[in-house]
Amino acid sequence: MREKEYEEYNALTKRLLEEGYSAEHHPDYVRVDIPMWQEKTLDNYDGGFTYEKWWIVEQTFKTPCSLQCKGIQCHSNMSYMGIEWTFENDMATIHCPYEKKECKLKHEYLQEHGILRYDCEVHMTEEEYCYEGSVEHILKLHDDEIRRQEISFGLQKKGRVCREHMRFNRDTLEWEMNYDPYDCGRNRCAGMCPVLGHELDKKRGNVFYDIKISYLRNDLSGTLFEGQVDTQIIKGKKLFDHPVSMDICKICARLCQDRIKDKVRNHYFTELFFSEYHGRYFSFEIQNVRAERRESRDLMQDLEDIRNGIQIVHASDMEKRESENKRERRRQSRESAVRRLEKKLLESGYESLKEYSTDRRHADKWLGPERIAELEKMRQLKEKERKERPVQLSLFDI
């Protein structure tokens, strides 16, 4: 449901009203955009008439620098600084093919906004459309130049470039290479790597690291041990959620340590916040970043750390324990559901369950026909015993 209503008509509606048109009588290239069940009125969300899409996309427009373009290339329906930048107000916009941030020809409001710095307004013209010198032509020349620079950039780097790590800087009008091996690992890259210049190792592994955390024991407040700081080392944390080529792992272990720090910092955001602003001491340190096919453990080092009062925890053990706990919770939940379902069958019987109900599907899946038949016999026997049970009379019943 539309909640906003314009206080005045758009420029198209004002012009058509001056020419004698109305909501019931108007040219074929405009319409009154309201729901079918409502009365036709110009007091609507769009400020009156709107252009038919099939017509407006074929019209010719001109930029402040006299470049022509078609309506299909323009943007409409933007509201900014109290102006409706629409076709109906002859204020549609288009992305500047020259991408000039500072242009004195376009509207002053579009010169001040960062996001709209490459946009300019266009106005409808009766001139015949000419491809030469149009926005479409300029964009084609611009794209050709970008492709030429891309080839030249690849030749300068002797082919050691990857399209996934390249970007065209539209401010400097130059290609840039920002190699990040983490993206290669995250995207499961395999085969030939143009940056490294050889096939990636088919052996897969991961980047492992240890986290040493020190924290204030808040549970000891008010005791003799108040203010005690404990230290814990979590060993064998993984950078990737899946196995990655060992070549990528080795590069990530060398180049992506800042990313690992950011990942750990985000994980312990709450603890670090309270440490900084509320005096609850907490700190972490990244140790032993390494690329391995599988996690290795140094038992002697673990024993040495334990002797020094440091708690040692292995991430793989934590994951295994959590997986076992989750499996146990699921098993207990299933057993509880089965007991509830069997109790229901003993009380009401299998036929009492609706044909496509959840309980009936679970009974067929979990219990099977043999168990269902056994429960039905038990129910019938119980019902028979109840009926044959002698009734004790009371003196008050006489």
Q: How many CB atoms lie within 10 A of CB 179?
A: 16
Given a contact cutoff of 8 angstroms between Cβ atoms, the answer to whether 23 and 42 are in contact is yes
Within a domain: residue 173?
A: no
How many residues in the chain? 398
- What average pLDDT does range 328-341 have in this prediction? 94
Residue 396 has pLDDT above 70, yes or no: no
Question: How many structural domains are present in the chain?
Answer: 3
pLDDT for the residue numbered 32: 87
- Which pair of tokens denotes residue 247? 């070549």
Classify strands 229-238 and 311-314 as parallel, antiparallel or unpaired. parallel
Residue 377 has pLDDT above 80, yes or no: yes
pLDDT tens readout for residues 87-103: 999 999 999 888 877 78
Band (61; pLDDT cuts 50, 70, 90): very high
Q: How far is CA 389 from CA 113, 380, 384, 385, in A?
A: 89, 14, 9, 6
Helix axes 257-267, 246-255, angle to 10 degrees: 80
Within a domain: residue 303?
A: yes
Lowest mean pLDDT among 60-64, 179-183, 321-325, 382-386: 382-386
Pairwise CA distance, residues 178 & 181, whole Å: 10
Band (220; pLDDT cuts 50, 70, 90): confident
290, 376: one domain: no
292, 223: one domain: yes
Residues sharing a CB contact under 8 Å with residue 386, sequence separation 6 or more, in sequence order:
none
Strands (E), the chain: 30-32, 49-51, 60-62, 68-70, 78-80, 83-85, 92-95, 119-124, 166-169, 174-177, 192-193, 198-199, 204-216, 229-238, 244-245, 282-292, 311-314
pLDDT tens readout for residues 193-203: 999 989 999 99
Query: What is the dihedral sign for C-alpha 360, 365, 367, 372?
Result: positive
75, 118: one domain: yes
> Which amino acid, 22?
S
292, 354: one domain: no
- Which pair of tokens denotes residue 170? 């539209």
- Which pair of tokens denotes residue 164? 């996934």
Q: Please say which residue of 105, 136, 167 terminates a domain.
A: 136
Lowest mean pLDDT among 109-123, 125-139, 287-301, 307-321: 109-123
Pairwise CA distance, residues 147 & 153, whole Å: 10
Q: Please say which residue of 108, 136, 164 terminates a domain.
A: 136
- What average pLDDT does range 53-57 have in this prediction? 93
First to last CA, the chain: 73
pLDDT for the residue numbered 210: 95
pLDDT for the residue numbered 3: 36
Q: Please say which residue of 115, 136, 157 terminates a domain.
A: 136
Q: Name the residue with higher pLDDT: 5 or 175.
A: 175
Pairwise CA distance, residues 346 & 383, whole Å: 10
Residue 161 has pLDDT above 60, yes or no: yes
Element (H, E) at 369: helix 368-388
pLDDT tens readout for residues 120-150: 999 999 999 999 989 999 999 999 999 999 9
- What average pLDDT does range 116-120 have in this prediction? 85
Within a domain: residue 111?
A: yes
For 265, the domain range is 209-239+253-309
Within a domain: residue 398?
A: no
27, 121: one domain: yes
Within a domain: residue 325?
A: no
Given a contact cutoff of 8 angstroms between Cβ atoms, the answer to whether 105 and 62 are in contact is no
pLDDT for the residue numbered 262: 94
Within a domain: residue 196?
A: no
The pTM of this model reads 0.69
- Least Cα distance to 235 among 323, 301, 326, 182 occurs for 301
Residue 245 has pLDDT above 90, yes or no: yes
Residue 1 has pLDDT above 60, yes or no: no
pLDDT for the residue numbered 4: 41
303, 336: one domain: no
Pairwise CA distance, residues 5 & 46, whole Å: 8
- What average pLDDT does range 111-125 have in this prediction? 84
Within a domain: residue 87?
A: yes
Given a contact cutoff of 8 angstroms between Cβ atoms, the answer to whether 291 and 249 are in contact is yes
305, 334: one domain: no
Within a domain: residue 397?
A: no
Residue 153: strand, helix, or coil: helix
222, 123: one domain: no
110, 46: one domain: yes
| Mean pLDDT score of the chain | 88
278, 375: one domain: no
pLDDT for the residue numbered 394: 66
97, 26: one domain: yes
- What average pLDDT does range 264-277 have in this prediction? 94
20, 100: one domain: yes
pLDDT for the residue numbered 5: 44
- Which pair of tokens denotes residue 350? 């299998």
